[in-house]
Amino acid sequence: MDWSSGSGSGSASGSDSDISEGCGAVDFRGVELTSPTREMDRDGLPPFLRGEDEQSRKSLDLLLHTSPCGLIVTDALEPDHPIIYVNSVFEYMTGYTAEEILGRNCRFLQYRGAFAQRRHPNVDPSTVAELRRCSEKGLEFRGEILNFRKDGTPLMNKLCLTPIHGEGGMVTHFIGIQSFTETNLELGPLPPPPWKEPSKWNKMARGDGSAPYLVSPTGGSGQSSRDGCCFLQLNDEVLAQKILSQVSPRDLASLAMVCRRLNKLVENEDLWRTVCWNEWGSETGEVLEEVAGRRRLGWGRIAREITTLEAAAWQKRTVRGSVEPSRCNFSACAVGNKVVLFGGEGANMQPMNDTFVLDLGAENPEWQHVHVGSAPPGRWGHTLSCLNGSWLVVFGGCGRDGLLNDVFVLDLNEAQPTWREVAGSSLRPHPRSWHSSCTLEGSKLVVSGGCTDSGRLLSDTFLLDLTMEKPMWREIPVAWAPPSRLGHTMSVYDGRKILMFGGLATSGSLRLRSSDAFTIDLSEEEPKWKYVTGSTLPGGARPAGTIPPPRLDHVAVTLPGGRVIIFGGSIPGRHSASQVYLLDPKNEKPTWRMLNLRGQQPKSAWGHSTCVMGGTRAVVFGGDTGEEWILNELHELSLLGVHGMPLDQLFEEEEDNAG
């Protein structure tokens, strides 16, 4: 039974003893069910409520027919928990007849009016969650919730939801005792019938002028326009579902400051969830859904902390286990909450080909060696990417006999993980190392730049679609490409757009660290690289903002919404490698901004030994010294706090409690 869907705003309470006043002293938990059925006997009682003795039957008969409370019974053994009984008080108070609602789920009580299509936006998600939990676990619920009459009138309902157990203790039915009282809420007009012309109810006159226009009611000549729509005269459902849910999180927060009514609507967590999913996409939405549950964060807080970065902070952690033999120049990437490490350069430049996993979601994270089948040739200076949620893709690098251009795929969710080589086509990228890669749409690998065996830097871009039956490499043709480089980053935003930043780039006959940024949109028929910003603009002009120092082998994190932060890498001079910079490539004139973050920062951070997890945190290995082979110490940059507390403070609190 979806009681949670049928609830409205309010809060659960365990002390509502007045809910059942005047309803008799019947203990439903003492009623044993012997023959559950949806049919009524001749006196109108469901058979399972008749009881085993005459006294129980008379008490229940009195309760069901003379009680001042509304009563409703649902069948817990049927899908969607249909209603099988309502008393006359329920019919009178809600305006629904038994014939209209028998066989339906209780969720219609949350719909305001006969033509509403969704839950009213004033529904309190916490009450919804508690009702759902109680109904799923067969527990009693007592609380105050908001329902609506058939004509749209709001009713505050004190509800006592009680499970009825049959043979063996199985929950077979639920009984809801409801005490209704009218409540005053500022609500707009009811949703119209779907067959009516929307313009007839969307176009409203200003009326008494009590509600301000957010769309100007006057034309260019200053005359009042009768076709103008007063934004705040729309009903709550239309405002929440058709307008507010379509704006960005920042705009939604701004609208909350317009008036009390909008502020109340914007308090709804379901609205914030919809806005975040619409703005940031389903892939990010699924990640944040898990974060919201694990850290007990509301969607409104998540949207604020990601938009403002107010809770972003560093924290230091220690993990167990070891990666042996020790190595450097390996590659690491994230698969959900797991960090996967592959390959690297061992003693005497020995290429490694083993695989290790660190589960940061575990209570005590520990490095584990993964026994895999058909391991690829050992290598270092390669890239390791995650596709389709669990695939690991290795490309290129420096092997025992020189540079490589092969591709291997491993499904980490397999019972016996096995590396499989992707044959590809004859049109492969040149063998290379220290290139950059990224993934598009969860299934396409993009490779850019790098260094050849002869030491020549590359400027090409290739794409490999691994969903094809026979994956084929395809070079992205461009009229102009940024200068050749290695050690740069490729960050995906807005679906198929890529931001390239930094690296060791050619500049005439020299090779210099770069702070230039370029973008390309691979959804265009003829993709073009575009210069965004850098240390010096064409013509010698200085760009606005705080430009990051030139660097290579740094870290880039794409945030929900498309902004990119960078930090770490190889930087000349005395600049701090842990200083974080932010750029929004979607702006008309993108400008770098330096962020001041709390917590214990790492001394160094390298792109090949840092994992980006879900766009909300980055894990840096190397400890305080910044030596990458120290894999038991890590620094985590998290964009989200817990209950408003930065993660570094949270872990300090946990350590104090443990001590």
Domains detected in the chain: 57-182 (3.30.450.20), 234-308 (1.20.1280), 313-638 (2.120.10.80)
- CA geometry: angle 136, 138, 144, nearest 5 deg: 85
Tally the C-alpha atoms within 13 A of residue 152's C-alpha that lie toward its C-beta: 15
pLDDT at 439 over 80: yes
Rounded to an integer, the average pLDDT of 191-215 is 46
Tally the C-alpha atoms within 13 A of residue 526's C-alpha that lie toward its C-beta: 3
Phi, psi angle pair for 252, to nearest 5°:
-65, -40
pLDDT at 623 over 80: no
433's tokens: 């190392």
3-state secondary structure of 532: strand
3-state secondary structure of 86: strand
Lowest mean pLDDT among 17-21, 251-255, 625-629: 17-21
Nearest to 651 by CA among 314, 367, 311, 308: 314
3-state secondary structure of 344: strand
pLDDT of res. 182 = 86
pLDDT of res. 54 = 62
Query: In a 10 Å sphere around its CB, with 0-12 CB exposed, 13-18 middle and 19+ buried, how is residue 16 labelled?
Result: middle
pLDDT at 242 over 80: yes
Rounded to an integer, what distance in angstroms lies between the CA atom of residue 193 and that of residue 377? 66
Rounded to an integer, what distance in angstroms lies between the CA atom of residue 446 and that of residue 452? 18
Rounded to an integer, what distance in angstroms lies between the CA atom of residue 90 and that of residue 569? 68
pLDDT of res. 276 = 92
Grade residue 621 by pLDDT with cuts at 50, 70 and 90: confident
Rounded to an integer, what distance in angstroms lies between the CA atom of residue 399 and that of residue 333? 20
More confident residue, 523 or 11: 523
pLDDT of res. 445 = 95
549's tokens: 């120092």
Per the rule left: phi > 0, alpha: psi between -120 and 50, beta: everything else, 455 is left
pLDDT of res. 5 = 44
Q: What percent of the chain has pLDDT over 90?
A: 39
537 CB-near residues (< 8 Å, 6+ apart)? 543
pLDDT at 41 over 90: no
Q: Which amino acid appears at position 252 of this protein?
A: L
pLDDT of res. 37 = 37
C-alpha distances (whole Å) from 396 to each of 349, 354, 379, 463, 599 are 16, 16, 8, 14, 36
Grade residue 30 by pLDDT with cuts at 50, 70 and 90: very low
Whole-structure pTM over 0.75, yes or no? Answer: no
389 CB-near residues (< 8 Å, 6+ apart)? 335, 336, 442
Lowest mean pLDDT among 202-211, 233-242, 283-292, 523-532: 202-211
Grade residue 536 by pLDDT with cuts at 50, 70 and 90: low
Rounded to an integer, what distance in angstroms lies between the CA atom of residue 119 and that of residue 121? 6
Query: In a 10 Å sphere around its CB, with 0-12 CB exposed, 13-18 middle and 19+ buried, how is residue 499 labelled?
Result: buried
Rounded to an integer, what distance in angstroms lies between the CA atom of residue 4 and that of residue 25? 26
- Only one residue has tokens 């946990």, namely 654
pLDDT of res. 61 = 58
